[in-house]
Structure 1
Amino acid sequence: MKKLFTHITIRLLTAISRLSWKRLYTLSDIFKFIIFDIFQYRRKVIRTNLEHSFPDMDLIRLQSIAEKYYRNFTDIIFETIKLRSISQHDLLSRFDLETTLLKHYYEQKKNLVVVAGHLGNWEMLNLFASAKLPYQIVVVYHEMANELFDDWFKNIRTKFGAEMVPMREAFIKAVAPREKPFLFVLVNDQSPQPERAYWTTFLNQDTGVFRGAELIARRLNAPVLYMGVLRDEIKRGFYKAYFKLITETPNEERNNGILQSQMTYLEQDIRTQPDNWLWSHKRWKHQKPEHLRQHQLLETNKRE
């Protein structure tokens, strides 16, 4: 029965993906009303996250951010479904991307590690990158429990040549030989196990950060870029993305310095467009341990 339900759902999602953008966003508006206004989906989580992140904002401003976020959240869901049937031409028209930095390193045949947060439609951006850039795009992702859904989404993510790497294989796949330079992309602003995380202050709160991105960058000894995404305030489904250099020499950076730079840049982007981040995620569900080990702290001085 479960497998039958999955097959029916996948057929439905595929049919929805063929709708026009106008009809797609109509469905998004209806879905927003159902899950946020009727079922109150994670509204308390969103409100608490916003209040703790922006303690100086008044309730009217916080509510305005929340209302915009509700629409952005359901837009991302339906935009991601649309990726199943989107044409390459349509996809390429939806991002404004500055590629000068990438061209600079591609000419040197350098691999790059790219760190990012859940800004805008990260799924659409990953697909866009594989359609637009000469690099091999390698994206680390969390596998779904349902294999049929996982295969359906994996087919979407790889339709223009991206390589998907399960989180558990990230370190092995990072050093695998490839025919051309690659971007190793990690969206790592979720909630890691507190005993393993790097701990910093992010959006006014004690925040744990996955350390894997920095460890992989050191292992590859590759330049590290931060990838930011801003949503077009007027046209739904359109974005602007950019890359910012964190370091060219990861092994010369202080311990957790790469992660600290990433979180600083991510916070700047969130403050610029606060409704554009994933506020419904239980980002701060873990408490900071009372005692942190050395590898969980920001090194105070650069290594010699």
Structure 2
Amino acid sequence: MQLAAFIFAYPILWLISKLPFKLLYLLSDGIYVLLYHIIGYRKKVVRNNLALAFPKKSDAERQQIEKKFYKHLSDMFLEMAKTLGISDKQMKKRYVFTNVEEIQTLENKGKNVMIMMPHYASWEWVFNLNSYVKAKAYAIYQPIQNKYFDKLVRDIRSKYGTTLIRTNESRQIIKDAKESGELITVGIISDQSPMLHRARHWTKFMNIMVPIHVGGEELCKQHDIVPVYLKVQKLKRGHYQATFKVLTENPGEVDGYKISEAFLQEVEKSIYEAPEYYFWTHKRWKHKDKVPKEFQNN
């Protein structure tokens, strides 16, 4: 069944990857109508999330964000498929790093780097970074259940040389790279909600107490990896601008989980600037009523 689904879908994705961008976004307009107005894909989740994150906004204001988000979601889906057929020249034109010298400077110091990203704007085209740096690139990800689509996603994301590694194997791979003296850059998306039984720290995100992922921070401290926030802005359809912000060059000197908290504060800034580009279909605040006693007064 998995293979049948892949055989059906792959030719469609391949054809999408060959479309010129004008036709791609005309198709995206149609997918928006289908997702939002006809299917109503996860609309209840999106509305609940927006109400939690923006309680002071009116229903009309939140609905405006909601519609813009679904248009962006449609763009994102097609842009991921477009990665199969996009040229290096187009990619560099459409996904611009404003200060890649920040990463290059760290590399010249012999520093390993962790790029910490949220589900915001575009995270699929960040792999273009490999065109500008010399370090071995790894990206931590969660495998897709369908092994054929999982391979396709890995192929797309490794187009520029990134090696995708599963969460459960990341610690050993990073440890081995560190011990061998290999210079590495690790990408991780850290804004989603962890499983409750694995939550080790809670903090406020959009003014709501939530459990947070701290694995990235722990890896940085354990292996002296510099955590860097990547702020991505969507300038217009198919055009993004990405800016690096070093959170600290000395992670071992940072107490508690302040790096993870600083990361989420940066995510909040991006959301407040343009909320329609955050991935509102995630149930990010699903554990808000299960805050442990030791965190309830924070």
TM-score band, normalised by shorter chain: over 0.9
How far 1:179 sits from its partner (Å)? 7.3
Aligned pairs for 1:208-219 (under 5 A) are: 208-219=211-222
State yes or no: 1:60 paired with 2:79.
no
The one-letter code matched in structure 1 to 2:202 is W
Report SS of the residue matched to 1:176: helix
Q: Equivalences for 1:27-106 in 2 at 5 Å? A: 27-97=27-97, 98-106=99-107
Report Cα offsets for 1:229-256 as digits up to 9, x if no partner: 1111xx3110111111111111111111
Q: Which amino acid aligns with 1:192?
A: P
Deviation at 1:25, TM superposition (A): 0.9
Aligned residue type for 2:207: N
Match of residue 188, structure 1, among 164, 187, 190: 190
Aligned to 1:141: 141
Residue 188 to residue 290, structure 1, CA distance change in 2 (3 Å): closer
Question: Counterpart in 1 of 2:260?
Answer: 259
Which structure 2 residues correspond to residues 100-119 of structure 1 after superposition, within 5 A?
100-119=101-120
Gaps of 5+ in 2: none
Q: Would the alpha carbon gap of residues 194 and 11 (structure 1) be closer, same or farther in structure 2, given more than 3 Å must change?
A: same
Task: Give the total of aligned pairs.
Answer: 294
Cα contact 1:50–1:279 (8 A) shared by 2: yes
| Match in the other structure for 1:165 | 165
Give secondary structure in 2 for the equivalent of 1:129. Answer: helix
Moved over 6 A (4+): none
Per the alignment, residue 226 of structure 1 pairs with 229
Taking structure 1 as reference, are residues 60 and 251 closer, same or farther at Cα in structure 2, changes over 3 Å only?
same
Distance 1:231 1:42 in 2: 23
Q: Write the letter of the residue equivalent to 2:254.
A: E
Contact 1:208–1:288 under 8 Å retained in 2: no
Aligned residue for 2:176, secondary structure, equals coil
1:203 lines up with 2:221 in the alignment: no
- Hey, what's the Cα distance between the residues in 1 that align with 2:225 and 2:202? 24
Partner AA of 1:194 in structure 2? L
Give the direction of change, closer, same or farther, for the CA distance of 1:79–1:290 in structure 2 (3 Å limit): closer
* Alpha-carbon distance in 2 for matches of 1:51, 1:287: 14
SS at match of 1:122: coil
Offset at residue 22 of structure 1 (A): 1.0
Identity %: 28
CA distance, structure 1, for counterparts of residue 132 and residue 264 of structure 2:
26
Aligned equivalent of 1:240: 241
1:281 and 2:287 equivalent?
no
- Of residues 139-148 and 100-109 in structure 1, the stretch that sits farther from structure 2 once superposed is 100-109
Taking the aligned partners of 1:105 and 1:266, their CA distance within structure 2 comes to 23
- With over 3 angstroms needed to count, the CA separation of the structure-2 counterparts of 1:82 and 1:273, relative to structure 1, is same
Give the structure-1-normalised TM-score.
0.91
Q: How far apart, CA to CA, are the structure 2 residues paired with 1:132 and 1:64?
A: 37
Kept in 2, the 8 Å contact 1:195–1:289? The answer is no
In structure 2, distance between residues paired with 1:145 and 1:186: 20
Distance 1:284 1:89, change over 3 A: same
Q: Secondary structure of 2:15's match?
A: helix
- TM-score where L is the length of structure 2: 0.93
Q: Given that residues 139 and 162 in structure 1 are in contact (C-alpha distance below 8 angstroms), is that contact kept between their aligned partners in structure 2?
A: yes
Inter-partner Cα distance in structure 2 for 1:140 and 1:288: 29
Task: State the distance in 2 between where 1:89 and 1:132 align.
Answer: 13
Give the aligned CA root-mean-square deviation in angstroms.
Answer: 1.9
How far residue 95 of structure 1 moved from its aligned partner, in angstroms, is: 1.9
CA drift of 1:2 comes to 4.0
Distance 1:151 1:297 in 2: 42
CA distance, structure 2, for counterparts of residue 54 and residue 135 of structure 1: 40
Deviation at 1:57, TM superposition (A): 1.3
Gap runs ≥5 in structure 1: none
